[in-house]
Amino acid sequence: MSPDLLQDLTAQPTGERALHATLREALDRDRLDGVPTSVIVLSVTGRHGSGQQPPEPVLMAVGSALAAGCRPGDVAGRIAGGHFAIVLASTSEQDARQITQRMTETAGAQPGVEAVRAAAASTPPGPEDGLELMAVARAAQASSAGFGPTARRAGDPPIQRILRLTRERLGMDLAFVGRFRDGDLVFEALQGDADSFGLELGARLPLAASYCRRMVDGRIENLVPDVSAEPQVRDLPVTREADIGAYLGVPLHGADGSLLGTLCCLSHEPLPDASSHDVAVLELVAGIVGELIEPEPQRAQ
């Protein structure tokens, strides 16, 4: 392992953008070779205060231990705080599980570490880039035991990160989670240039005036690459007011299968090159987000 990589692990976070770029490169290489790629996401908490980030010296020790445990060709980085990721090129799901267990034990053995949460994800044949893989690993990690409740608000940072990666992957201006409540579409998470669409967190739009209701009802497709060519939405007030050029949306279901709302992306410009693959990516991400966010509260009968 190079000194630069060790520095990345033990000093400042490298950020998910850099790790995602590395993951994409590994996927490209492994696809040509016909072999899978895996990624591990690992987080630690400290002994002083349950669930709290360990002090910086502890994080540096964890980073050094993870770096020492990496195989030649593995790429590891510190995402933020006590969160680390390791890209395992040419590594099967079975091998990734074994490496995850070893890395979990390595991190947990460091003085000052109270608990370790880790998960791995491996490619199905031929994913287009690393977004799905990183998102699946982070979702599995968030659902693992030992770190308290797994339900999250739609605006929590892990979900915001998934929305950002999704928006960037799809080339859209805005990604959002909209919940269906009392006849309205409520914007519970916004990632991107919300101001340019005139949207803010907590804003409400009557479902009858929304794209999302029409998509869920089947009156429009999941992908509307040019809204000016779609009679169902081109004359809606929100189309003009928000200057919507393209829409991509899928239903958002909770862990119990109930319809919570929608996961959507918007663009000011039409997107003639968008395809069914983009819908498939958003459906995969919606499955992850739906498992993570809080269900609707039970109402008294």
What is the domain range of residue 58?
3-142
- Can you tell me the distance from the alpha carbon of 3 to that of 136, in angstroms, rounded to the nearest whole number? 29
Nearest to 162 by CA among 282, 80, 11: 282
pLDDT of 17 reads 59
State the pLDDT at residue 300.
40
Give 103-122 pLDDT, tens digit per residue: 999 999 999 999 888 888 88
Where b means 16+ CB within 10 Å and e means fewer, 238-252 reads bbeebebbbbbbbbb
Q: Is residue 62 part of a domain?
A: yes
Q: Does 185 share its domain with 110?
A: no
Q: Is the pTM of this model over 0.85?
A: no
User: What CATH number corresponds to the domain at position 279?
Assistant: 3.30.450.40
Residue 255 lies in a domain: yes
Q: Are 214 and 135 in a shared domain?
A: no
How confident is the model over 25-77, as pLDDT tens digits?
877 787 778 888 888 888 888 865 445 778 889 999 999 999 899 998 888 88
Taking the CA of residue 101 as centre, how many other CA atoms within 13 Å lie in the half-sphere pointing to its CB? 5
Residues 179 and 237 both lie in one domain = yes
137 and 78 within one domain:
yes
Phi and psi (nearest 5°) for 97?
-60, -45
Residue 297, domain member (yes or no): no
Statement to judge: residues 161 and 257 lie in one domain: yes
What pLDDT does 254 receive? 83
pLDDT of residue 108: 93
Q: Is residue 299 part of a domain?
A: no
Domain of residue 17, CATH code = 3.30.70.270
Predicted confidence at residue 134, as pLDDT, reads 67
- Domain-embedded: residue 207: yes
Residues of the chain predicted below pLDDT 50: 1-13, 49-50, 125-128, 143-155, 299-301
Closest CA to 9 of 19, 21, 23, 24: 19
Q: What is the pLDDT of residue 75?
A: 83
Asked, for residue 138, whether it belongs to a domain, the answer is yes
Cα separation, 268 vs 172, whole angstroms: 8
Half-sphere exposure of residue 276: CA atoms within 13 angstroms, side-chain side: 0
Same domain, 134 and 227: no
Q: Which amino acid is at 278?
A: D
Number of domain units in the chain: 2
Please check whether residues 7 and 134 belong to one and the same domain.
yes
